[in-house]
């Protein structure tokens, strides 16, 4: 058994948590944790040390989803795409960078999220939106379709508004919280659900 295969062994106590769709099989990096109650399916690629927590859905069934390293997708979140069709010829894939923390019950749909981003609990980021690097989006916010959020700021509201520049302490929080979830998912992997 290869090292890559053995790192995948504890991922799915429920074999249905990670599943193919029309020949597209999720590709998971080293030491990825997917809770047995979550669903990851189709054209999904995840980097090393990611974590997918209970009741989350990551559905790459009509377009691709790409998630960088050390990204955490919290409980009850939904990650999906926009298919290519007559009203949107290219569709919108979902792309997420490194060291991203996605809060509980967030919905990310056909958008681009940079690296070192905190997506607050209950936040919605819609089709074609671009969230640059080093951003905090406050809980319950709505990022409308096609909107771009500039790097280095706090955004809150429905619809979201730029509030202020992030402090140095806040900027250091991104890699701290990503690292904290790497440690936590490692503990969950040892439980071998």
35-84 tens-digit pLDDT = 999 999 999 999 999 999 999 999 999 999 999 999 999 999 999 999 99
Helix (H, G, I), strand (E, B) or coil at 28: strand
Cα–Cα separations (whole angstroms), residue 77 to 54, 81, 91, 114, 163: 9, 14, 21, 18, 25
- How is residue 9 annotated by DSSP? G
- Structural domain including 22 reads 3-191
The model's pLDDT over 77-93, given as tens digits with 9 standing for 90+, comes to 999 999 999 988 999 99
35 — phi, psi (to 5°)?
-60, 145
What is the mean pLDDT of the segment spanning 2-19? 53
88, two tokens: 């949107």
> Who's near 107: CB < 8 A, 6+ residues apart?
77, 78, 79, 80, 123, 124, 125
Q: How many CB atoms lie within 10 A of CB 26?
A: 22
Interatomic CA distance for residues 131 and 135, integer angstroms: 7
Give the confidence band of 5 by pLDDT, cuts at 50, 70, 90: very low
What is the mean pLDDT of the segment spanning 127-156? 98
pLDDT at 14: 56
The model's pLDDT over 96-132, given as tens digits with 9 standing for 90+, comes to 999 999 999 999 999 999 999 999 999 999 999 999 9
Number of domains in the chain: 1
Q: What is the CATH number of the domain that holds 111?
A: 2.160.10.10
Q: Is the pLDDT of residue 11 over 50?
A: no
> Who's near 183: CB < 8 A, 6+ residues apart?
none
Give the confidence band of 1 by pLDDT, cuts at 50, 70, 90: very low
Write b or e for each residue in 46-65: b if 16 or more Cβ atoms lie within 10 A of its Cβ, otherwise e: bbbbbbbbebbbbbbebbeb
């Amino acid at each position: 058994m290869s090292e890559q295969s053995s790192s995948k062994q504890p991922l799915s106590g429920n074999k249905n948590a990670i599943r193919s769709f029309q020949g597209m099989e999720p590709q998971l990096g080293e030491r990825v944790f997917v809770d047995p109650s979550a669903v990851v399916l189709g054209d999904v690629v995840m980097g090393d040390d990611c974590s997918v927590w209970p009741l989350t859905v990551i559905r790459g069934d009509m377009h691709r989803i790409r998630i960088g390293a050390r990204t955490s997708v919290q409980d009850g979140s939904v990650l999906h795409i926009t298919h290519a069709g007559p009203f949107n010829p290219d569709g919108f894939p979902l792309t997420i960078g490194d060291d991203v923390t996605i809060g509980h019950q967030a919905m990310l749909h056909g958008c681009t999220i940079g690296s070192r981003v905190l997506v607050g609990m209950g936040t919605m980021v819609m089709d074609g939106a671009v969230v640059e690097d080093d951003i905090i989006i406050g809980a319950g916010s709505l990022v409308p379709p096609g909107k771009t959020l500039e790097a280095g700021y706090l955004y809150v509201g429905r619809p979201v508004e730029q509030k202020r520049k992030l402090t140095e302490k806040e900027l250091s929080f991104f890699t701290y919280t990503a690292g904290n979830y790497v440690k936590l998912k490692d503990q969950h992997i040892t439980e071998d659900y």
